[in-house]
Amino acid sequence: MSILITGGAGYIGSHTCVELIEAGKDIVVIDNYSNSCSESLERVKKITGKDFRYYECDIRDREGLEKVFAENEIEAVIHFAGLKAVGESCQKPWEYYDNNIAGTLVLVDVMRKNGCKKMVFSSSATVYGEENQVPFVETMKTGTTTNPYGTTKLYIENILKDIYNADNEWSIVLLRYFNPVGAHESGLIGEAPSFPNNLMPYVSQVAVGKREFLSIFGDCYNTPDGTGVRDYIHVVDLALGHVKAIDFALPRTGVEIFNLGTGNGVSVIGLVKAFEEANNVSVPYKIVEPRAGDVAYSYANAQKALEILGWKAERDVKKMCEDTWRWQKNNPNGYAN
């Protein structure tokens, strides 16, 4: 029996493939390579020394999915596939709703027709919205999302809850990630955005000399140094959280939500300083206008994952910075070389 990983060639997916294989699981990957390439999967094979099947397949492609289910015995799905750029989602809402929501509907339909009713889904801390106060707890009511990307995550959570309510044979785990950063210690896989969306890729591109300076979006938030505070989590810790989540989902039915964060907040300037110190590099920055939709604080209450999954983030901010830098230095053009 295998676990199907949708979007497995991507940033979090590729790291999760490594940890699943290291934990002795059989995996099959699908990806349409809209934001990745198969080289990341070849590197997963290199890191683990294990072979596995991967397919170029879109989650909206019913026939393609049927073929994957026919050729493999899939017992559960870890569903990463999706578009994730907040700004782009405001320009292309239709594409985001189609890819993320319509795609999930096709996937769920093919799963149930094949008797596979276990899914771990990549949700986001963005579903807490602007109304809730930190630390965010799973029991809080979800908030108002500020962009179509966030709305797709909220809708998919609700869709999956309804799917379970109508058919109690499903086992669904919704993982709300905070801010994933870092890379595998080998320096072979990491985040390779064609255009960065998040803070850490900008920081490392400034450090490597690809950009002149970092623009910090506002220093007048009600935080200790005025810059936004986030819960950065090492991608390998996040990946290990998926191994725990799949082991939790397999023998059960139900819907369960877990925050995957460290529970610690770090400011933008705090992350820049940590990166400079960890790697002995300089990251010049300029303070610019705040970015629309940003909140002052976002960090997790990470207790539930500890108590129920036995999972806790172990890697500190220094390690996040060191591993990001190793990946960036070894692969200045991502997987392109």
Q: Which residues are catalytic?
A: 149
Q: Tokens 């309804």 identify what position? A: 162
Q: 2 vs 179, which CB is nearer to ligand WQD? A: 179
Where does this chain touch ligand WQD (CB under 6 A) — which range of 30-38, 69-77, 167-175, 290-298?
290-298
Q: Which stretch binds ligand NAD (CB under 6 A): 7-15, 210-218, 251-259, 296-304?
A: 7-15
Between residues 2 and 126, which has the closer beta carbon with respect to ligand WQD?
A: 126
* Smaller CB separation from ligand NAD, 8 or 270: 8
Residues 17-76 that bind ligand WQD (CB under 6 A): none
In the bound complex, what is the minimum distance in angstroms from residue 287's beta carbon to ligand WQD?
A: 9
Of 202, 248, 258, 275, which one interacts with ligand WQD (CB under 6 A)?
Answer: 202
Q: Report which of 235, 229, 150 is spatially closest to residue 192, judged by C-alpha positions.
A: 235
**Of the candidate residues 89, 171, 198, 204, the single one contacting ligand WQD (CB under 6 A):** 198
Region for residue 219 given its phi and psi (left: phi exceeds 0; alpha: psi -120 to 50; beta: otherwise):
alpha
In the complex with ligand WQD, the residue whose CB is nearer, 85 or 305, is 85
* CA neighbor of 239 nearest in space, from 48, 39, 85: 48
116 binds ligand WQD (CB under 6 A): no
Using rule CB under 6 A, residue 321 touches ligand NAD = no
Is 230 among the residues that bind ligand WQD (CB under 6 A)? yes
Q: Given candidates 5, 20, 268, 274, which one binds ligand WQD under the rule CB under 6 A?
A: 268
Under rule CB under 6 A, residue 122 binds ligand NAD: yes
The answer to whether 177 contacts ligand NAD (rule: CB under 6 A) is yes
Per CB under 6 A, the list member of 160, 216, 238, 260 interacting with ligand WQD is 216
- State the binding partner of 268 from ligand NAD, ligand WQD, none, CB within 5 to 8 A by kind: ligand WQD
d(CA 227, CA 297): 9
Q: What angle do the packed helices 199-207 and 268-279 form, to 10 degrees? A: 40
Residue type, 169: E
The distance of closest approach from Cβ of residue 238 to ligand WQD in the complex, given in angstroms and rounded to an integer, is 12
3-class SS letters over 291-304: CCCCCCEECECCHH
Cis peptide before 284 (omega within 30 of 0): no
Q: What is the per-residue DSSP string for 183-202? A: --TTSSS----SS--SHHHH
The answer to whether 190 contacts ligand NAD (rule: CB under 6 A) is no
Helix spans in the chain (H): 11-22, 39-48, 62-71, 86-91, 93-96, 103-113, 148-166, 199-207, 235-249, 268-279, 303-304, 317-330
Question: Number of residues in contact with ligand NAD, rule: CB under 6 A?
Answer: 28
Measure the CA–CA gap between 283 and 91, rounded to whole angstroms. Answer: 30
Told to check if 145 binds ligand WQD by CB under 6 A, we report no
Residues in a beta bridge with 27? 3
Q: Taken in order 200, 205, 211, 212, is the CA torsion positive or negative?
A: positive
Return residues touching ligand NAD (CB under 6 A): 6-7, 9-13, 31-36, 58-60, 80-84, 99, 103, 122, 124, 177, 180, 198
